[in-house]
Chain A
Amino acid sequence: MTREILIRDLSKCVVCDVCTTVCKDRHGRARMNLEGPRFGRYQLPNVCRNCPDTPCVTACRLDGMKERGGRTFVTDACKGCNKCVEACPFGVVTLLPKEHKKKEGFFARVLGLARSAEPKAIVGHVASDASRCVQCGVCGYNCPQGIQVRDYARRGKTVNDPRCVRCGLCIEVCPRGTLRWDIAPEIPSPMFRADKCNLCDGYAESACVKECPTQALLRIPADERLLNMNEALYHETVGKYLAAADDRRHSGGVK
């Protein structure tokens, strides 16, 4: 499937903000805003451009960000480690506090209220086994919060740094099995989750495109159709990647 991008036709847009409003209604947060570079009649809103080289997917050390059919999206494996946010060249990935929606039946909810039992989220800490640690520092190198996990691990201590977001990345990357959860967290990604536009994955059509009263927002395949509309816009979103791919092909030689 070809890659698609969202563009705004400035000759049609009346800046009514319906697009951002419906986006917020659907996703709980407006994943786009109407700033961004202009190319004559068209404009690229600040929203995911589905880069073909997918820096966000490359940056993810888990399976939290995936690419399928020309679009990138956040999966349930995301643990809110911030790597994709740092990697995004356009700053359109954000971390959001993850809500733990607990699905409960009516009776359970009423009974729960009656007992005033708050459902407790059991959150684990990162524990360590000093005898396995070789102080290589891979843990701290990957920590989104810059915690030197190694200094805990070499003493066999549990990471009790208040900055820890419990993303579990250090456990994942440790080459020697030094780190583990002291209590396996019941909710796997306890605090944050990355959020970005995924072109309304799972819905029939993008809310912003569908609801725009003047049909100013367009989902355009990034190919000749875009080139025919506006050459500069095409170059910005497609051309430079093609040039980069060409460069890679011509340099390097053996590699």
Chain B
Amino acid sequence: MTRHVIIGNGAAGVTAAEEIRERDPRGHVVVISGEPYPMYSRPGLAYVVIDEVSDQQVIARKPEWYSQERITLLFGKAASIDIAARYVHLEDGRAAHYDRLLIASGARAVPPPYPGADLDGVLYLDTLDSAKQMLAKAKTARRAVVIGGGITAMEMAEGLAHHGVDTHYFVRKNTLWSTVFNETESKLLEQRIVGRGVTIHYNTEITEILGDADGRVRGVRLNNGDDFRCDLVGAAIGVKPQIEFARGTPIQVDRGILVNDRLETTVPDVYAAGDCAQVWDRWSQKHMLDVLWPTAIAAGRVAGANMAGAHQTYMKGVPFNACLLFGLHVTAIGQLGGGRGDDGEVLQHIDRGSSEVWATRPQSYASAWSQDGANTVRLVLDGDRLAGALIVGRQTLADPLRDLIEHQTDIRPLLPHLRAGGAAMAEHIQQFWRNTIHS
């Protein structure tokens, strides 16, 4: 009987466990969870903090599911891996023997790189506990500062404002979500954010978080030397794969764990998937991080199958995320070619719910643009193929564009309409999609 051990109880880990169970009904499956909960939906945390869903409901699998599927759930943090003896050692001294190991330990928020990051009142939104902590703190807080350029930061701002906290969103650049959004898209979102009572401060950076005698946040110091009073600081400046336990082993590590197209690491019988894995990207010809839910599910499925003896290759899909920010629907697909890496973006790591691929440009770059009031569509063209799309507002084009991008459809007949742009573009894309995909 093969012993499968999975480090990580998130989207990738649980999907892999499910896949293994399906292919190997008799094998042992052990899932090691670093958090004291059954598997929950991490993207759902954004909806927990705006009271769209309860902290109980966001738990996606009940404990009974594990017993039903005969999956052993072990609560504890992995501390090290003994490759030679095939053991995973936990921090509390326990150890799990494996025949096949999957590392799906995910990623966690990086703390702000300036003094004061350990003060009481510095909040993150990367675990269920952190979301609960944020809700508890929001009850008594008067004023909060949120930093970070991506989706998670805006979700935090939305949550804090929803609970009546006077929320100030500090942005380093002069547009919102600058790695992905252009100016018009940024303006559309800005209207929504301001409408919910959040104050945006552009071109503003923090140099220090100030604390009081009890070790609580009392304010922040800005790059212009001013002090800004607040009692909470929400930080979402990026995530980092949780792979400390794999360092010092023969498993090759860059920013994440490097894997080949079968999701095998450099050590036999050890696999990696999800946010902690750095997967070969066919678009940019590099190993890339995707901190995305659908990617983790797809990779978890392939890793699980391969651990159970299959020979599947993981084709890194087109990164896709549909999110709801301040009531505005935004869908990002493929490459969007924002302005990343102009000054060695130390702070702007990859964010929860985003992909590095979004911020890369294809070799030949052209774009098409259509705007109809508060609804916009932006396309990134790579020759006669679509490389990416960003849809803000009305979402009717989301599925057609995703199909066209995923299937690498030859869009030459569509090109004149794309060049023309405007509101008619949407109709032509719909028509073209119906003719090609549905014929």
Q: Which residues of A contact B (CB under 8 A)?
A: 131-132, 134-138, 140-141, 150, 154, 173, 175-177, 254-255
Contact = CB atoms under 8 A, between A and B. Distances in A.
Nearest to B65: A151
A136 B43 contact: yes
B47 A254 contact: no
Size class of the B contact interface (CB-based, 8 Å): 20 to 34
Contact of A134 (B43, B54, B142, B166): B43
B207 interface: no
Interface of B: 11, 41-44, 47, 52-54, 57-60, 142, 164, 166, 293-294, 320, 322-324, 329, 331, 395, 398
B294 A136 contact: no
Contact of B320 (A131, A137, A150, A254): A131
Contacts of B58: 136-137
Contacts of B331: 177
Contact of A137 (B60, B294, B395): B60
Contacts of A175: 47, 52, 322-324
A138 B52 contact: yes
24 contacts: A134-B44, A135-B44, A136-B43, A136-B47, A136-B58, A137-B41, A137-B53, A137-B58, A137-B59, A138-B47, A138-B52, A138-B57, A140-B57, A141-B57, A150-B60, A154-B60, A173-B52, A175-B47, A176-B323, A177-B322, A177-B329, A177-B395, A254-B142, A255-B164
Contacts, number: 57
B53 A136 contact: yes
B218 to A, nearest CB: 16
Nearest to B43: A134
Given A150-B60, A177-B395, A141 B54 contact: yes
Contacts of A136: 41, 43-44, 47, 53, 58, 60
Nearest to A136: B44
Nearest to A129: B399
Contacts of A132: 294, 322
A137 B44 contact: yes
Given A134-B293, A135-B41, A137-B41, A254 B166 contact: yes
Nearest to A173: B52
A136 B41 CA distance: 5
A105 to B, nearest CB: 36
Contacts of B47: 136, 138, 175
A136 B52 CA distance: 10
B324 A176 contact: yes
A254 B398 CA distance: 41
Nearest to A253: B142
Given A135-B44, A176-B322, A177-B331, 5 more contacts: A134-B41, A134-B294, A136-B44, A137-B53, A141-B53
A135 B48 CA distance: 13
A138 B45 CA distance: 11
A253 B265 CA distance: 56
B322 A137 contact: no
Contacts of B11: 135
Contacts of A138: 44, 47, 52-53, 57
A150 to B, nearest CB: 7
Contacts of B164: 255
Contacts of A173: 52
A135 B60 contact: yes
Contacts of B60: 135-137, 150, 154
